[in-house]
A and B are shown apart, each in its own frame.
Chain A
Amino acid sequence: MNVERLRAKLESILQSPVRLEWKTVPEWNALGGAKRPGESGRAPAAVEADGTLYIRLGQSGGRVRVLCADSKALSESERKLLEMVVETAGEAEQKSAFQRDEAGQFIRDVRHWIEEQAQTGSYGEHDPPEAIAAYPALYAPKVPMLLYGEHASGGGKQDYAELKRLLASFFDTDVLLIPLLDKEWLILAPESLLSEADGEDNGGESYEEALDSLCQGLQTMLSSEWVGECHVSAYYPIVPARSLPATVMRMRDAIRIGRLQRYGRYIHLPWRMYLDQLLHLVPTSEKRNFVAQVFKRADPFLDNEMMSTLETFFELDCNVSETAKRLFIHRNTLLYRLDKFKQETGLDVRSFNQAVLVRIALQLYKVTKRT
């Protein structure tokens, strides 16, 4: 139960101020919250004092949390309804506490397992530890996805619950959600999702294509319905109990390198990032040297327009017509820009070998400019 949300809703419905307060147990008792001597049954859940109605929400560490409303602004029936709503919410909270404890233990175990494997650097397939072997859910094939919420607040309980609800609604099924590092979440979704995306003609789409469109959809949904832009990676379906840590590491690397080297992109699939991963291993000084050698003194010439032109050109496999279409420019304008680039650098990106050089240098240029 989110008490702040409950308070805001009640305030909106009642059109009267509703506050949340903490009282010490003696203060609460002094207000009349204690069970009276000789009285049977439970202590009162609501008391009225000095024109304010106090309703007990719960107790923690010797303090009582109360919801306060102006009793004069409430009719008798509104008051009863208010008490009933708060009591029901409290009961639901107690009931879910047990389930939360169980889920919490599962999350702790999986997280511990992954981080332990990450520290040892042992990414092969191993028998899972005893704690993990106890979870049958990890023996069914799952689609692993890793999420990095750039603007997420850092994986608090509220974030977790909100994201879990959102994903359950999005996938229309229960998914396993495990918060890992700061702002990083692991999603394990049923494998059947991939065939659902494939539609009636069930065929023709590879795992890579199906995972790509699933990630695109998820990223779009999270951008507009959660905390804004987030980075998403995914991997082929796995049996988590066998290879989850290794898979998480692959996806984590893809997002880490993708965030550094693929600015403005949010889907980072490991099988599309072999070159990025290789270039990431090159020391910064070597990167700078390579860029300087390839571009010579054309550095200032690489303005936003030229960068986006070249990037789009490479993204579309050096196809002039498609690039011009994507950039909304005339084909001749594109050719003029490519010629201008050739004059400045001596490199003709319409030749395969020189295009490879420019493609690599451009990627390194962006990284070295930002570091």
Chain B
Amino acid sequence: MYEIKMPRFGLTMESGFIEKWFKKEGEKVKEGEPLLEVSSEKITNEVVSPASGVLLKIMGKEKEEIKVGTVIAFIGEEGEKIKEIKKEKVKLEKITKTAETKKTPSVKVAPPKRGGRIKASPLAKKIALEKNLDLSSIKGTGPDGRIEKKDVLLYLSSVSENNAEFKIEKLSGLRRTIAERLSKSFHAAITLTNTTEVDFTEFKRLMKENKVSITSGLVFFLSKVLKELNKFNAHFDYDKKEIIIYNNANIGIAVDTEKGLIVPVIKNVDNLSLETINRKIKELAYKAREGAISENDIKGSTFTLTNLGMMRTEIFTPVINPPEVAILGIGRIVKKPVIVDEDKISIRDLAYLSLSYDHRIIDGADAARFLGKLAKLIENPALKLKGVKRKTL
């Protein structure tokens, strides 16, 4: 018999949140087959079966947070008996048993009450408990209005349609982490945002020529500015009143995935060529979207870049990713008439850069300087690309 324990994805992981079981109790599993999905505070990973056999018992239910190392399931041979294991759930947080979608149906139903007691079959009660449903909102069709399994299932299917007034969803592990981190950042930092409109015409052309993305180019130039204004390439420890300034830039890139925001990190950007940066970003973004990202991939960023350029947003106020001190946002690149060479009008590619910064550490003038330097590089990209790039310059 194999005990499946809550895995540890990284050194700091103390508990895991069971997102989903791919197998049911009694189902056969093969070694290496995905068994369940677990998320830590940072990432969501698939856990594969360490052995072939039958999934005898699931101790850790979906949407439960469980301590690392605790037995969450048993795999063995059919009919094997399981010794009783006490489940140690994390006590720090009260996690409701399930996070099934709960909605109120638009059709109002009279609860099948008599003398204040709701009649329901044992099985119906059990399912309702598992699915976190309120029996009083389910109409019973059995004898004397007793709620039966079919009534609970009907209710479940009706509420999953779009006829509900609203729905309540429990946050997934990843969303909870995002919420916690951002609220911490927002309440702690004194966040201001400076914006400036930058001419991307030349930059865009060069990136296209070099077959790299706008984001890759920005990361490349950002690292140059961060080197000069290294105050931005830092972590802030308010309790110790210390700023840790890093020599090398690890730039986090916000990636929009189905499950929410993930920020993979390109390490030591200073030492990387534009092509390497481009390749790394592609790899990490792919991994993030496929849910295959490792904890190491999202660790240790010193500055974050968020690009909403592919969507319809020009100016926005990004929220700092703590313990960093600033974050740069870029909006959509739009063609606009611009006055060039004193009195000539030309059509150029323009976009806004939005730099949010923690005013406890960085002043408005610092931010303006940062944006100024970056804008200058973007508007004259050949200056910096010289020597790094092969052709075109």
Asked if A and B bind, the verdict is no
